[in-house]
Amino acid sequence: MRVAPTKIETFRDDFTYSNSEFAIKRFPFPFPEDDYMYSVNIEPHTLPGPVGTVNEHLIDIDEHYLSEMRERGIVLEENPKRCLAMPHMDLACWDMIDRCMTTMSEDYPDYFSLTKDGDTWHWHNKLLDQQDTFTFGDSSTLSLPPMEYIGRQVQGDFALLDQRDGDLFMDAGIVTCPADWSLAFDAGMSFKEWHGPVPMAHELGIFDRALKYLCAIQVNRPVRRLNWTLTVNARMDTSPETYPQWGTDRTTVTPENIGEKIHLRVELQVLDRMPRSNALMFSIRTYLASLEDLCSNPEWARRLHRVMKGLPEPLIEYKGLTRYHPMLVEWLSQFDPVN
C-alpha distances (whole Å) from 306 to each of 299, 330, 332 are 11, 11, 9
Question: What pLDDT does 141 receive?
Answer: 98
**Bridge partners of residue 81, in order along the sequence:** none
**Bridge partners of residue 272, in order along the sequence:** 281
Question: What pLDDT does 1 receive?
Answer: 44
Question: What pLDDT does 150 receive?
Answer: 98
Residue 133: how many other CB atoms lie within 10 Å: 12
Question: What pLDDT does 149 receive?
Answer: 98
Burial class (CB in 10 A: 0-12, 13-18, 19+), 275: exposed
Question: What pLDDT does 209 receive?
Answer: 85
pTM more than 0.85: yes
Question: What pLDDT does 7 receive?
Answer: 78
Burial class (CB in 10 A: 0-12, 13-18, 19+), 196: exposed
Question: What pLDDT does 2 receive?
Answer: 46
Return contacts of 17-20, CB within 8 angstroms, 24+ apart: 17/64, 17/67, 17/234, 17/288, 18/234, 19/288, 19/289, 19/290, 19/293, 20/63
C-alpha distances (whole Å) from 172 to each of 99, 100, 159 are 16, 16, 6
Q: For residues 88 and 171, is the Cβ–Cβ distance under 8 A?
A: yes
Q: What is the DSSP string of 312-334?
A: -HHHHHHTT-TTTHHHHHHHHGG
Alpha-helical segments (H) within the chain:
21-25, 65-78, 90-107, 146-151, 183-186, 191-194, 201-204, 206-215, 243-246, 258-261, 291-294, 298-309, 313-318, 325-332
Question: What pLDDT does 135 receive?
Answer: 98
Question: What pLDDT does 201 receive?
Answer: 47
Give the three-state DSSP class for 57.
coil
What sign does the dihedral 188-191-193-194 (CA atoms) show? positive
Distance CA 298, CA 296 (A): 6
C-alpha distances (whole Å) from 109 to each of 15, 83, 100, 113, 215 are 31, 28, 13, 6, 33
Cα-to-chain-centroid distance, residue 253: 25
Give the three-state DSSP class for 63.
coil
Largest CA distance in the chain: 64
Q: Which of 99, 221, 225, 302 is catalytic?
A: 225
Question: What is the pLDDT tens value at each position of the chain, 339 positions in all?
Answer: 445 666 799 999 999 999 999 999 999 999 999 887 766 689 999 999 999 999 999 999 999 999 999 999 999 999 999 999 999 999 999 999 999 999 999 999 999 999 999 999 999 999 999 999 999 999 999 999 999 999 999 999 999 999 999 999 999 999 999 998 888 888 888 887 876 656 554 454 577 888 898 999 999 999 999 999 999 999 999 999 999 999 999 999 999 999 999 999 999 999 999 999 999 999 999 999 999 999 999 999 999 999 999 999 988 998 889 999 999 999 999 999 876
Task: Name the residue ranges covered by the structural domains of the chain.
Answer: 21-335
Active site annotation includes 26: no
